[in-house]
Chain A
Amino acid sequence: MLSQGIWWSSIVLEVFLLARAASARLIFRYPVFYGYISFVLSQSILRSLVHRWYEQGYKRVYWTTEFLGLAMGCWIVFEVYRVALAAYPGTARMARKILVFLFVLAASKAAAALWSDPHLLVETTPLQVERALRTVQAISIAALVAVFVFYSIPFGRNLRGILLGYGLFVGERVICLTFVPPQGHHFWFYAASASYPVALSLWLFYMWSYQPSPVTKDSLQLEYDYQRIAAATRRRLQETSGYLRRVVRS
């Protein structure tokens, strides 16, 4: 009953969000985001039909669409990064490096785990794979948000809503997937399912009308000066470190 309620509320919210996007012409402004919402809506209907008419194939359809949805979610995050940092090449570079580092770290960890236990791939359930992938996604989003905050990147209402909604959804999902049992309907199963309607409600609030991201006017050409500043900063840091050593010794 509760599952049905969550399912229907998600469908209604998705339809409402898409209808509002079409009427406010937001759908052309954020095609990736609304593409994701349309995908999740169609996947919910597809899963329901498969569950009703072809139950033995449900598990395969469920996990295939779940991982496709996860990949599309990564595309949303990439789109937020691309749009928000278009005017900030320095921050974009920083964010890219951090994300590459995180993905290399995650891939190395997975490779090391597979190397130590060759049967891991067979023994791992799709739920565990999703949890691992969502964890990497959560860490990446957290790193991106930290970079945005540190460099004071201005966000428009819509972009902020997309990031907050998707980030909260991923965060809640990761926590719930940590506790959700492999079989049966437990509190955490419902909590994991309910995280999506929560995100949809947030999106509906933030995506009611179009509000562009603010454009900055401080487009100073600081390439040469950054090199100079960096050199000066390094020198000062070395001096400070020497000073620290002297203080510790004295």
Chain B
Amino acid sequence: MIEFSSLIAGIALLLLLLTAAAKGWLASRPLGPEPAASEEDATEPCPAELVNRIFSREDWEFVRGLKAGGIERLFEQERKRVALVWVCQISAMVRKVMREHAQAARQSKNLRISTEINIFAQFLVLMAVCGILSAAIQLAGPLWLGGLAHFAQRLSQRVSKVQETIRAGALSSAREAGSA
């Protein structure tokens, strides 16, 4: 048992360090990692109407009514692609929120470990939901996933509210520091 846990610890450390070295996670980056293009674009989630539309069956039923196999296939492929882009956007937004939170929290002298763990757990849940959603879209297509998509949308909106609070906090602090 001890041997097995030692082996796991050793392998985990090696993998973590090799990944950190390969991806440059421990490199000189005073303001955190440069966001990917998709992360920079991820300022706010898509409007709810658009998400409704992506996952709604109305358009699908209309296309089916045309009785054209080629158009049906094209519609399915396009809808799947749009849905996957939306999931990527949500997960990029969540990552951005976490990066901003980490940059604000790392300077704070009275950081609370329990709160940080809570936020991290929330992040993991959201990332897991995005992963599951992405896999489900790949497997079943977006038209069958309306409920799950709405759930993810609501969660991400809540996270963006937290992001706004963090921004407002940082700004007011900067103003206070400036006026002092």
A residues at B contact (CB < 8 Å)? 88-91, 93-94, 97-98, 128, 131-132, 134-135, 138-139, 141-142, 145-146, 148-157, 160, 163-164, 167-168, 170-175, 177-178, 213-230, 232-234, 236-237, 239-240, 243, 247
CB distance from A105 to the nearest CB of B (A): 12
Q: Are A224 and B173 in contact (CB under 8 A)?
A: yes
A141 CB, min distance to chain B CBs, angstroms = 6
User: 10 smallest A-B Cβ distances: which pairs?
Assistant: A174-B10, A225-B169, A152-B32, A90-B111, A171-B13, A171-B14, A175-B10, A226-B108, A90-B108, A151-B106
Residue among A148, A160, A171, A233 making CB contact with B162, cutoff 8 Å: A233
A220→B107 contact, CB < 8 A: yes
A155 and B118: CB pair below 8 A? no
Q: Which of A94, A152, A178, A224 has a CB less than 8 Å from the CB of B33?
A: A152
* One of B21-29, B54-62, B80-88, B131-139 at the interface: B21-29
A77 to B77, CA, bound (A): 52
Min CB gap B39→A, angstroms: 13
| Contact partners of A227 in chain B: CB under 8 A | 110
Query: How far, in angstroms, from A236 to B26 measured CA to CA in the complex?
Result: 32
- Since A171-B14, A232-B165 are in contact, a sample of 10 more A-B pairs with Cβ atoms closer than 8 Å, ordered by chain A residue number, is A94-B113, A97-B113, A149-B20, A151-B102, A215-B30, A225-B173, A226-B105, A229-B101, A229-B104, A243-B158
How many contacts between A and B, using CB within 8 angstroms? 200
Interface residues of B (CB under 8 A from A): 2-3, 5-7, 9-14, 16-18, 20-21, 25-33, 99, 101-113, 115-116, 118-120, 122, 151, 154-155, 158-159, 161-162, 165-166, 169-170, 172-174, 176-177
Q: How far is the CA of A225 from the CA of B128 in the complex (A)?
A: 29
Q: How far in angstroms is the closest Cβ of chain A from B5?
A: 7
> Which residues of B have CB within 8 Å of A98?
113
The chain B residue sitting closest to A96, CB to CB, is B113
B28 x A154 contact (CB < 8 A) = yes
Question: Complex Cα distance A146/B117, Å?
Answer: 13
Q: Are A234 and B118 in contact (CB under 8 A)?
A: yes
State whether B106 touches A152 (Cβ < 8 A): yes
Is there an interface contact between B106 and A247, defined as CB atoms closer than 8 Å? no
**Are B14's CB and A172's CB within 8 A?**
yes
Say yes or no: A236 contacts B162, CB within 8 Å.
yes
Write the nearest CB–CB distance from A247 to chain B, whole angstroms. Answer: 6
Determine whether the beta carbon of B17 is less than 8 Å from that of A145. yes
Distance, CA A221 to CA B116, complexed state (A): 18
Instruction: A33 to B21: give the CA distance in the assembly, Å.
Output: 20
User: In whole angstroms, what is the CA distance A89 to B31 when docked?
Assistant: 16
Q: Is the CB of A230 within 8 A of B112?
A: yes
> Could you say which of A150, A164, A173, A215 has the most chain B C-beta atoms within 10 Å of its C-beta?
A150
List residues of chain B with CB within 8 A of the CB of A145. Answer: 13, 16-17, 20, 26
B17 touches A168 (CB 8 A): yes
B160 CB, min distance to chain A CBs, angstroms: 10
A90 touching B113, Cβ below 8 Å: no
* B99–chain A nearest beta-carbon distance, Å: 7
- Return the chain A residue nearest B14 by Cβ: A171
Q: Is the CB of B6 within 8 A of A152?
A: no
Chain B nearest CB, measured from A174 CB (Å): 3
B165→A167 contact, CB < 8 A: no
Cβ A94 vs Cβ B116 within 8 A: yes
